[in-house]
Structure 1
Amino acid sequence: MQTAQSTVDAGEIAKFEAMAAEWWDLNGKFKPLHMLNPCRLDYITSQIAGEFDRDLTSETPFKGLRILDIGCGGGLLSEPMARLGATVVGADAAAGNIPVAQVHAAQSGLEIDYRHTTAEDMAANGEQFDVVLNMEVVEHVASPPDYLRACHDLLKPGGLHICSTINRNPKSFMMAIVGAEHIMRWLPKGTHEWSKFITPDELFALIRDAGMEPVDRKGFVFNPIAWSWSLSDKDLSVNYVTASLKPA
């Protein structure tokens, strides 16, 4: 087995190790992700269906697709992908997340290949996927350019890469750090570092430099009145998501 140089940030991994057991607690430290998840899934499923010509009204529309969920945590995205028929690998650099994900998948009657590994090691060993889900991870790695190159290598030619992160501006500091961590206490203080946030234009440039072609980007917008998230074509000011393709 080959071992590639890792972009894992040990300090970032330690933060999520400490929260591992709470992944499936709807009111725990990952409450923001549970709230955001339906919106994330709407985007992910529509992008996959559009790219691979799949009918989302069918029982298992993603059958035959191999999907990698990088930074899978407790499996909040891996499980829906498996239910839709995909062959799913969930990878996480935080070892403590893997048994949590495995137990929950077993309780849910789902077969998911969960692994304690990194994107770089999987790429070095020649693994390839139709889809790479890279959600809320790039702002936690030590080297986004190297990490995104590994994501590129993990895609089959013509494969789809979906990447979400947080914009870097005064609003995102107030919403994602002051609001989410200090006022609402949705996340432990220090979960995010504002300096590691990436603007949409910066991310598009990094994706292109990694050898992929960006094809879409949208904002995830939180409505404090309706207490819900929605997709936006225009508002990418805080949370946002991108889709890109590896040339065939």
Structure 2
Amino acid sequence: MSKASIVASEAAHFGGMAHDWWDPDGDSAMLHKLNPVRLQFIRDQIDQHFDADEHSLKALEGKSALDVGCGAGLLAEPLARLGADVTGLDAAPELIEAAKGHAAGQGLSIDYRAGELKTLEGSFDLVTCLEVIEHVAEPADFVAALEKRLAPGGLLIMSTPNRTEWSRFLTITLAEGMGKIPRGTHDYDQFIDPDAMRALLGAAGLEMVEVMGIAASPMKGLHLSEDLRLNYIFSARRA
């Protein structure tokens, strides 16, 4: 029997950030900086996988999308604007309430739910899970649960910090140490490197299709890169 993926302390930590999730200068400021970079990769993968028109404003029209660990909707809202029928799932009820309120203010219809991934029913053309797997109790069970939600021919996109000393330094020592990210957000022991991720995917019947690094530099800020040392984002499909 698969175990629960939610770690209560993690849900409480992120739930405590709900009050200013949409403030680009608040506790989630780093996510606001990260989101455009992730969206660049996601849009490219959508266009390739679904053979969509790269100039279309509704590339996900007629498709369903599930954003796992959706927070208060930083990714779910752009997916809805691309035309998808979006479901957002998060472990923290406080974040789901904030997400519902923000989406209503934007005139967006998104099905937000609080709870465990393994209790969710249905399948989705696109499943996204960004900066989440490093916070779950059982990564292997979690990836298997993601696979179960993927519709035939579906696309999975995930991102996570790499398990490197560079990632530990920038993410925990520097960013958390300087207050750019709330202290206690990350546990280096939970970081997963790309080879270990491929093994998790393979055990669930999935294969990694394309991977890009998310790097940081004084000149470019956060940006897509061949350098995977800090963070990486990837697409996957059934093998």
For normalisation by structure 1, the TM-score amounts to 0.93
TM-score under structure 2 normalisation?
0.97
From 176, 181, 206, the counterpart of 2:176: 181
The residue number in structure 2 matching 1:75 is 73
Report the AA paired with residue 128 of structure 1. S
Note the residue ranges of structure 2 that are not aligned, 5 or more in a row.
none
Map of 1:99 onto structure 2: 97
Among all aligned residue pairs of Structure 1 and Structure 2, give the percentage whose two residues are the same amino acid. Answer: 44
State the partner residue of 2:23: 25
Q: In the TM superposition, what whole-angstrom CA distance separates every residue of 1:79-104 from its partner, at most 9, and x where no partner exists?
A: 00001101100000111101100111
Equivalent residues of 1:214, 1:243 under 8 A apart: yes
Task: Provide the aligned C-alpha RMSD in A.
Answer: 1.3
Aligned match of 1:144 in 139, 148, 160?
139
Q: CA deviation at 1:4?
A: 6.9
1:27-49 deviation line (CA, Å, top 9, x unaligned): 01111110011110000111011
Cα separation, 1, equivalents of 2:35 and 2:217: 15
Specify which of 207, 222, 231 is matched with residue 229 of structure 1. 222
Counterpart of 1:42 in 2: which secondary structure? helix
Distance 2:18 2:47 in 1: 31
Contact 2:59 2:82 in 1 (8 A): yes
Runs of 4 or more, structure 1, over 2 Å off, are none
**C-alpha distance in structure 1 between counterparts of 2:235 and 2:59, whole Å:** 19
Code of the residue aligned with 1:43 in structure 2: it is F
1:165 aligned residue: 160
The number of equivalent residue pairs is 239
Q: Tell me which amino acid in the other structure corresponds to 1:237.
A: R
Q: Does 1:128 align with 2:123?
A: yes
Partner-residue secondary structure (3-state), 2:93: coil
CA contact (8 A) 2:46 2:59 kept: no
Give the whole-Å Cα distance in 2 for the aligned partners of 1:96 and 1:107: 17
2:106 to 91, 95, 108: 108
> What is the DSSP-based 3-state SS (H/G/I as helix, E as strand, rest coil) of the residue aligned with 1:96?
helix
Q: Do the aligned partners of 1:148 and 1:207 also contact (CA within 8 Å) in 2? A: yes
Q: Secondary structure at the match of 1:60?
A: coil
Contact 1:156–1:246, Cα closer than 8 Å, also in 2: no
Deviation of 1:225 after TM superposition, in Å, equals 3.0
Alpha-carbon distance in 2 for matches of 1:54, 1:24 = 30
